[in-house]
Amino acid sequence: MALGRIPERRTTRVWSPSFGVMKWLSFTHSAIYLGLLGCWIGGVDGGLKTALGWGHGWGWIVMCLLTVLALRARVIPLWLAVCVAVVGAVGPFVGSIGFVVEQRRRAQLAGA
């Protein structure tokens, strides 16, 4: 490499989840969170609430990691990644709604 030249960018393929996998994982995370909210509102105490709480926490962490991979591979747009990773900690329904919106947008673009 000559002095002062910028090296060519290496294009290495990194594994990333598909749009469909991300969508269904988001729906699953929302269902877990809905169950957790139901336990909280209903006053359920004990193992179910604990299991759903752990499921939501770990689910959010996994969703964040997969979102970074999907964003880097350009599987999902930045606005959807923000919905899933940032807002998803306190409201995973936003990410699930975002996947529905993005799927409809893609269908409209494909039909046009």
Residues 37 and 68: their CA atoms lie apart, in Å, by: 27
In terms of phi and psi (left: phi > 0; alpha: psi -120 to 50; beta: otherwise), the region of 18 is: beta
pTM of the model: 0.83
Domain assignments of the chain as residue spans, ordered by start: 19-111
What one-character DSSP code corresponds to residue 46? Answer: S
- Summarised one tens digit per residue, pLDDT across range 9-61 is 666 677 899 999 999 999 999 999 999 999 999 998 889 999 999 999 999 99
Q: What is the pLDDT of residues 78-88, one digit of tens each?
A: 999 999 999 88
